[in-house]
Amino acid sequence: MTLREKGTGFLHLAGWTAAALLAAALPAAAHPGHGSMSGFAAGVQHPLSGMDHLLAMIAVGLWGAFLGRPLIYVLPVVFPTMMVVGAVLGMFAVPLPPVQIGIALSVLMLGSCVALAISPPIWAACLVVALFAIFHGDAHGKELPSAADPVSYSAGFVLATGLLHVSGIALGSLTARPIGAITTRSFGGLIAIGGAWFLFRAIRT
Amino acid sequence: MRGAIAPSALLCAALGLALAFAPRNAWAPSVLALLSTVAALTFVAMPRAWLEGAFLGCWISVITTAGSVQLFAKVTSRAALILAINAGAWSSAVTGLSGSSLDLLKALPWVLILWPASWVARRHGQIPIKVVSSWLTAVAALSIALQLLPVTPGYLPDHME
C-alpha cells in the first residue's frame, strides 16, 4: 500500500466520522438566540452555520482529493494557514474587496474546478485556495475579538473547518471507485450551482 | 481572566504529535524531561509582569513544535528532548502566572496524543498528523494576533463594563 493510499484510507474513515459529527451539530447551529459569541461551541458553529462557508470547505477537500498527492494534504494545510492571514486582516479591519462576493466566488470556482476536473499546477491550486481562504478568514476574524473566550473560539472554528476539509476528502476519495469520478464531479457541480446562487444574492444586495 | 489550559494543552498536544515522529526510545526521556521541567518551574515564582510574554512564548512554542511536524519527516531524539523541555517551561509559566497551577493537570495529559498519533502515522502515513498539526499552528497564530490586537478582546472588560 502506498503512502497516499494509506493517508487517504485513514482520511476516508475520518471523513465519514467527521461528516457524521458535523451533521449532528447542524441542528444546533440552526437554533437561534444563543446570545454572545463565545467559546469552543460558537467557534465550531460558525463555519457550519453558513452554507457558503460550509460548501467552500468541502470543495477544498474534494478538489484536493481529486488532484491527489501532494495537494490532498497541501490544500487542507494552505487553507487554515491563509485563513489565519485573512482573520488577522479582519481583526485589524484592513479593507478587502467585498467579502461576501469573494466567499460566493470561492464556492462557485472551487465547485467548478471539481466539476470540470481542472488539474492546475500545484502552485496555481495553492494560490487559488489561499486567495479564497483570505476571504473566509476575514469573515471569521471580524467576529473573533467579540468572543468571550477567543482561544477556544479559534480552536472551534479551525477544528470545524478542518473536519469539513476531511469530509470533502472523504467524498473525493470516492473517485477511486467505479463511477466515483462522476459522483465526485456531480458533487462539484452542485457546489458550483450553490456558489452561483450565493454570488447572485451577494451582487444583488 | 484568560485561561491557561488552552495554550498549555495545545502545546502538550503539539509535543505529542512531534514525539510521534521521533524514535520510540526518545519518548520516555522526553516525557520525563517535560514533567521534570514542569515540576522544577512550578516552585519558581515569576513576576506578574511576565504574563503577556509567557502567553506569547507559549503560542510561539505551539507554532514551532507543530511546525517541526509539518516541515520534517522525522524528529531526532535530541530535538524531541529540546521541544519537551521548552513545552514544560512555557506550560508551567502560563499556568503559574495565570494563577492556576492545577490547570497543568488538565493540560499535561494531552501529550499522550503521541500514542494514537504514532499509530496513525505508522498505519496510515504522516498526512493526517501533518494536517492536524497545521490546525494547531492556525489556532496559535490567531491567538498571537489577538494578543497584539488594538481592540478590546472579549476576555477583557471594555468601556461599557
Residue-wise pLDDT tens digits, A191-204: 999 999 999 988 88
pLDDT given at position A9: 55
pLDDT given at position A189: 92
DSSP string, A76-144: HHHHHHHHHHHHHHHHTT---S-HHHHHHHHHHHHHHHHHTT----HHHHHHHHHHHHHHHHHHHHHHG
A13-22, A43-52, A155-164, B133-142: least confident range: A13-22
| Higher local confidence (pLDDT), A31 or A189 | A189
* Interchain CB distance below 8 Å, B151 and A88: no
User: What residue type is A53 in one-letter code?
Assistant: H
The count of other CB atoms within 10 Å of the CB of residue A205 is 8
How many residues are listed for chain A in this entry? 205
Calculate mean pLDDT across residues A114-126: 90
pLDDT given at position B87: 95
| Higher local confidence (pLDDT), A18 or B93 | B93
Nearest CA in chain A to B157: A148
> Measured between CA atoms, how close is B31 to chain A, in angstroms?
25
* For residue A1, pLDDT beyond 50: no
CB-CB neighbors (< 8 A) of A165 in chain B? 131
Separation between Cα atoms, residue B124 and residue B129, nearest integer Å: 10
pLDDT given at position A45: 82
Q: What is the interface pTM, i.e. ipTM, of the complex?
A: 0.70
CB-CB neighbors (< 8 A) of A91 in chain B? 145-146, 149, 151
3-state class of A59 per DSSP? helix
Low-confidence ranges of chain B (pLDDT < 50): 1, 158-161
A19-23, A43-47, B24-28, B42-46: least confident range: A19-23
* For residue A133, pLDDT beyond 60: yes
- Is the backbone peptide bond immediately before A70 cis, with ω within 30 degrees of 0? yes
> Measured between CA atoms, how close is A196 to chain B, in angstroms?
29
pLDDT tens per residue, range A60-112: 888 888 888 888 888 888 888 898 898 888 888 788 888 889 999 999 999 99
pLDDT given at position B160: 46
The count of other CB atoms within 10 Å of the CB of residue A204 is 6
Place of cell 452561483: A196
pLDDT tens per residue, range A140-194: 777 776 666 777 788 888 888 888 888 888 888 777 777 778 888 888 999 999 9
pLDDT tens per residue, range A93-103: 788 888 889 99
pLDDT given at position B152: 54
Q: Confidence class of residue A131 from pLDDT cuts 50, 70 and 90?
A: very high
* Interchain CB distance below 8 Å, A81 and B135: no
pLDDT given at position A204: 82
Angle of helix B127-147 relative to helix B5-20, nearest 10 degrees, comes to 150
Cα angle for residues A78, A152, A96 (degrees, 5° grid): 50
A68 to chain B, any CB pair closer than 8 A? The answer is: no
Q: Is the dihedral of CA B27, B31, B34, B36 positive or negative?
A: negative
Counting Cα atoms < 13 Å in the Cβ hemisphere of B23 gives: 8
Nearest to B128 among A11, A37, A87 (CB): A11
User: What residue type is A29 in one-letter code?
Assistant: A
* For residue A117, pLDDT beyond 80: yes
